[in-house]
Structure formats: structure tokens, C-alpha cells
């Protein structure tokens, strides 16, 4: 099977649209995070929280604010689920079991949105709206705020001030995420996504059986799950469900929303550091990795490697026929290149090499373009590592956008990079050592891939799954919850510590020995470092899983 003209146009139109909005939307983001005037609503929020919006924060204070806000959010969301049977619009559902409530609370607060449950049969409307959807907004805003704090560290000198977390959180939520979500929800509703408070409609199927069709406030949650690279579906079938994603053009819109903010943030980086070329270089790295991933995922799925796909002429198992193979593969690449985790097809049914690509996307650190905020600060960490390696090669102190990368800075960058592999590989090993990997649907290499995918998804705060594995047990919910928690907040601490170290430095003027970090050579070096680090770290695990299955 080959890609159709429609499939090619689908991808090209996405590229054109993202290029078109990169500058205007990036400039809007820049004005939001750099402005000094506060609206009346924002001032009311600051008074409610008890915050002085004019007060700057050192990295430690900024980090404590992030952690405190997230801790309170986890406790609130946990209690919300445990008490849902007493709440309005509970639909008669029982309280969520303790280990499941813990996992879900951590999942949505960490921007992971891993779901062990079927949303339409587990969560009432109020919990979905006021619990899960709210965290879709604020967890996304936290990621963007941390990225902006790191960029300020590069831009500022001889200061510990990285801005104010509460101001960043409030502005990003009210001026960016909410307005775009309202417009996006209206568009999705026009396309057929449902938005109501219905408890369900009883119908008789064509075979005469009785079935309840669940409604709900779907469009409002669908748009922010994509825009905020969250991914938690209102329905168990996620973005393959016709109430969440009815048509080919809503499928296009949802992918566009997933990529909108991550691909626009490099513009913010360039403007804050005062060098647009640096922002374009970062965007180019993202684009190279993203195009390669989308192309390879499409090739592997369209060639249908495997006995059954070759026999029927296409790898159609687990695909929604409304979207065909190519649009499903493109969605799979986009959702794992970012930290979204939404799915419109069954990744466990992909061909061996096709299923490997979402794994590799997450193992890259989700930096192409990555989750909202997390993709930018992850790629900047890789840029720091790249200039350090280049500095060793030429025998000079490495510098990036006017800041020296010394031993302190490279330690923070290295610790950042080591967190996720340690969690993924340790968690996978623990699942097999304790016998909990036996819940995987398949044995052999594919079974290993299912377990590896689960820990890769949780530790990278992605939230998608191969799905051929039962994770609704106390061990799995606890283990994956810990991976989400550590995989989110340990890197954030290292990023903010690096930002604080950079902000205290004086700017270093460029010299003859300074490596230009805005040229194609540097773009290629960052791409190479990213791929090589991932290959050295994860190749043995991939060799035992999808590579062994495919070969």
C-alpha cells in the first residue's frame, strides 16, 4: 500500500499551517510572558493566592512554588475522585478505588494523562470537567512557565530573578490556553464533537440489543487535551471515538492543536534572548526530527511488514477507517513526538517497526517538538550538552547564547537527561523481576515492548499505551504513578537549577573560538547528539523488543 495524494496533502497542509502561525502565535506567547501589565481578573487571582506579582523569584523559590501548586493539585484531584459519588453529575458512579485515584491524580497533574480506566464508565461529568479538564489547563501552563524561566536564565545576567511562577501560570492560562480552547471547542462542535451534560441515551442497535450512548462535555475537554499536549480522552477509545474526533478535518485540527504551542515556543526563545536566529535553529532541530519520524512511521505502516498485513494488502488492524493508515500513523507520530498521548488508533496493533517509532519518539525525550514547554526546555538541555561536547573537541570553554557552560551547568544538564532512562529501564526490569509483566497480553518480544512502552510513556509523561497490557492493579498503578511523578518534577528541578546558575552569570561576548549555534552545522550536531544518546541508552531494550519482533 502506498500513501495517497490525500495523505500527502494532509501532512503538507499541516506543515504549511504550522509555518504560517509560528511567528504570529510565537509573538503572542512572547508578549504574554514578557508583559508587565496585569488585567483586573489577574490581579484578583493574585490577591486570592496572596502573591505580589511584582516580586521576582530565585530558582529555588520558583521550584518550590511549582512543587507546592502541584502537590495541592494532586491532593485535590485525589479527593475529588474518592468523593465523586457525593458530587453533582456523578452519574451514579462509585468512588474511584484508592490506587486508581492516586494514579489518575498524579497522571493529570504531571501532564501525562495515562488512563487505566474507561472514562465514560468511571468518571462523572463534574470530575471530568472540574477535575481532569482543569488540570489539563494548569499542568500545561506549568510546563510553559518552566520553559520560560529557563529562557530567562539565558537572557538575564547577574541576577537570581527568573520571574514569578504565579504570574506566569495565571497569564498563560488566561491569555493563551483559555481563548484558544474556546475557539477550538466551537470548531470541534461544528465538526460533530458532542458537548452536553447528558447522562446517556438508551438506543436499540441494528441487532436488537440495548445500548446506552454516553454524552458529556466532550468538546471542551477534547480541545485542551490536544492544545495542552495532555491526551486524556473523555472516552476509552480516545480520539478514535466519533464523539471525540468525527471526521478527517477534525483529525487534522486535533493534530494541528497538538503541535501549535510546541512549534511556536522557539520563537519565544529567540525573542527573549534577542537572537531570532537561535529560535529558528531550535525550530529547525524540532522539524528535522519530526519530519523523519512522521515519514518513517508512515513508511513502516504503509508497507505493512508482517504476514497478515501483507496478506490483506494493508496494516488496517486497530485503525479507524475514517482516518485510513496514513492519517493514523501521522497522528501516532505527532502524539508521541509531543507529550500528548492521545490516540486515534491502536498502537499495539501496529507493525513491529511501526510500533517501534512511537517508542523511539518518546525515548528521544519528546523534543520534536515535545510537550508544551517541556519540549523546549528538553531541547535546550540537549543544546547545552552539544556545545559542551563541541567545546571539548576544540579545547575551549563551551558557550551557548552568551553563557558559559561549566561543570555546574553540565551536571544539571546530565542529571536531567539521566532521569527518564533510569526510570524506564528500572521500571521495566522491576516489572519482569516481580512477575507483574505477566499481565502483558503477549509473550516474547511483543510482550516486552508492551511493558517497555508503558514505562517509557509514564516516565516521559506521555500517557499513550500499547494497550495490550492490564495495568489496573495496585502494583502497576503505584509503579507508573511514581514514574510519572519523578519523571515530571525531577527534570523540572534540574531545569530551574540550571536556569538559576545561568542567570547569575555575566554575559560572555562571542569570540573567534565561539561555536556558532544558529547555523545548519549546529542544527545537525544537536540532531546527532539527540539520536546518539538515545541509541546508546535504549538500543539494547529495543533490540529485545520491536527490533527482534520485526526482524
Name the one residue in this structure whose C-alpha cell is 529501564. Answer: 425
345 lies in some domain: no
Q: Give the mean pLDDT of the chain.
A: 92
What Cα–Cα distance (Å) separates residue 314 from each residue in 196, 309, 352, 475?
38, 5, 14, 37
**Total domain count for the chain?**
1
Predicted confidence (pLDDT) per residue in 166-179, tens digit: 999 999 999 999 99
Domain span at residue 501 reads: 371-550
Minimal CA–CA distance to 301: which of 342, 353, 262, 233?
353
124 lies in some domain: no
404 lies in some domain: yes
DSSP, res 176: I
Predicted confidence (pLDDT) per residue in 265-320, tens digit: 999 999 999 999 999 999 999 999 999 999 999 999 888 666 556 555 567 777 88
516 lies in some domain: yes
> Worst-scoring range by mean pLDDT, 177-191, 300-314, 351-365, 437-451?
300-314
Cα end-to-end distance, the chain, whole Å = 20
Phi, psi of 469 (to 5 degrees): -155, 140
d(CA 232, CA 66): 22
- Which of residues 533 and 60 earns the better pLDDT score? 60
Is 80 exceeded by the pLDDT of residue 230? yes
Cis peptide before 369 (omega within 30 of 0): yes
85 lies in some domain: no
Is 90 exceeded by the pLDDT of residue 29? yes
What is the per-residue pLDDT for 425?
Answer: 95
57 lies in some domain: no
What is the per-residue pLDDT for 2?
Answer: 61
Model confidence at 549, in pLDDT bands (50, 70, 90)?
A: confident
State the average pLDDT over residues 349-359.
Answer: 91
State the average pLDDT over residues 445-463.
Answer: 93
Tell me the chain's radius of gyration from C-alpha atoms. Answer: 23
d(CA 401, CA 441): 49
Predicted confidence (pLDDT) per residue in 134-193, tens digit: 999 999 999 999 999 999 999 999 999 999 999 999 999 999 999 999 999 999 999 999
> Worst-scoring range by mean pLDDT, 49-53, 253-257, 285-289, 486-490?
49-53
Minimal CA–CA distance to 286: which of 24, 464, 530?
530
d(CA 275, CA 135): 34
Predicted confidence (pLDDT) per residue in 397-414, tens digit: 789 999 999 999 999 999
513 lies in some domain: yes
419 lies in some domain: yes
Chain Cα centroid distance, residue 118: 21
Minimal CA–CA distance to 165: which of 2, 318, 46?
46
Is 90 exceeded by the pLDDT of residue 423? yes
Amino acid at each position: 500500500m502506498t500513501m495517497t495524494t490525500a495523505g500527502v496533502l494532509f501532512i503538507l497542509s499541516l506543515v504549511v499551517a504550522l509555518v504560517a502561525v509560528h511567528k504570529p502565535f510565537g509573538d503572542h506567547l512572547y508578549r504574554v510572558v514578557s508583559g508587565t501589565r496585569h488585567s483586573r481578573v489577574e490581579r484578583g487571582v493574585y490577591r486570592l493566592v496572596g502573591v505580589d506579582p511584582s516580586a521576582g523569584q530565585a530558582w529555588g523559590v520558583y521550584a518550590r512554588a511549582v512543587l507546592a501548586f502541584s502537590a495541592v493539585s494532586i491532593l485535590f484531584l485525589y479527593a475529588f475522585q474518592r468523593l465523586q459519588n457525593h458530587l453533582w453529575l456523578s452519574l451514579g458512579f462509585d468512588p474511584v478505588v484508592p490506587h486508581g485515584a492516586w494514579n489518575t491524580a498524579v497522571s493529570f497533574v504531571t501532564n501525562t494523562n495515562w488512563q487505566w480506566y474507561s472514562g465514560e464508565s468511571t468518571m462523572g461529568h463534574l470530575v471530568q470537567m472540574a477535575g481532569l479538564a482543569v488540570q489539563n489547563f494548569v499542568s500545561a501552563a506549568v510546563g510553559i512557565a518552566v520553559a520560560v524561566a529557563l529562557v530567562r536564565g539565558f537572557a538575564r545576567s547577574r541576577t537570581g530573578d527568573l520571574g514569578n511562577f504565579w504570574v506566569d501560570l495565571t497569564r498563560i492560562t488566561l491569555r493563551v490556553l483559555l481563548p484558544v480552547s474556546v475557539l477550538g471547542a466551537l470548531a470541534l462542535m461544528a465538526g460533530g464533537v458532542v458537548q452536553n451534560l447528558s447522562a446517556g441515551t438508551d438506543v436499540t442497535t441494528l441487532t436488537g440489543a440495548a445500548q446506552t450512548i454516553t454524552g458529556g462535555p466532550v468538546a471542551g475537554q477534547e480541545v485542551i487535551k490536544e492544545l495542552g499536549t495532555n491526551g486524556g480522552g473523555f472516552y476509552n477509545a480516545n480520539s478514535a471515538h466519533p464523539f471525540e474526533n468525527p471526521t478527517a478535518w477534525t483529525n487534522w485540527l486535533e493534530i494541528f492543536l497538538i503541535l501549535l504551542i510546541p512549534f511556536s515556543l522557539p520563537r519565544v526563545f529567540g525573542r527573549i534572548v534577542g537572537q531570532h536566529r537561535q529560535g529558528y535553529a531550535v525550530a529547525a532541530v524540532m522539524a528535522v526530527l519530526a519530519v523523519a519520524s512522521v515519514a518513517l512511521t508512515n513508511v513502516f505502516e504503509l508497507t505493512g511488514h508482517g504476514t497478515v498485513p501483507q496478506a490483506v494488502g494493508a496494516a488496517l488492524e486497530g485503525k479507524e477507517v475514517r482516518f485510513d493508515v496514513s492519517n493514523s500513523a501521522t497522528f501516532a507520530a505527532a502524539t508521541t513526538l509531543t507529550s500528548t498521548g492521545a490516540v486515534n488508533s491502536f498502537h499495539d496493533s501496529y507493525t513491529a517497526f511501526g510500533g517501534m517509532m512511537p517508542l523511539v519518539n518518546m525515548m528521544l525525550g519528546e523534543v520534536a517538538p515535545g510537550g508544551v514547554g517541556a519540549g523546549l526546555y528538553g531541547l535546550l538541555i540537549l543544546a547545552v550538552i552539544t556545545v559542551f561536547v563541541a567545546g571539548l573537541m576544540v579545547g575551549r570553554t563551551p558557550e551557548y547564547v552568551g553563557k558559559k557552560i561549566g561543570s555546574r551547568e553540565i551536571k544539571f544538564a546530565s542529571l536531567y537527561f539521566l532521569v527518564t532512562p533510569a526510570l524506564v529501564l528500572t521500571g521495566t526490569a522491576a516489572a519482569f523481576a516481580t512477575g507483574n509483566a505477566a499481565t502483558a497480553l503477549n509473550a516474547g518480544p511483543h510482550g516486552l515492548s508492551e511493558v517497555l512502552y508503558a514505562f517509557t510513556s509514564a516516565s516521559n509523561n506521555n500517557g499513550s499505551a500499547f494497550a495490550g497490557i492490564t495495568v489496573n492493579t495496585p502494583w502497576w498503578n503505584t509503579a507508573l504513578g511514581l514514574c510519572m511523578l519523578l519523571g515530571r518534577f525531577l527534570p523540572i528541578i534540574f531545569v530551574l537549577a540550571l536556569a538559576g546558575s545561568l542567570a547569575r552569570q555575566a554575559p560572555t561576548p562571542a569570540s573567534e573560538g565561539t561555536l556558532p549555534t544558529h547555523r545548519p552545522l549546529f542544527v545537525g550536531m544537536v540532531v546527532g547528539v539527540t539520536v546518539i544518546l538515545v541509541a546508546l541508552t535504549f538500543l539494547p531494550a529495543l533490540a529485545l523488543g520491536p527490533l527482534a519482533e520485526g526482524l
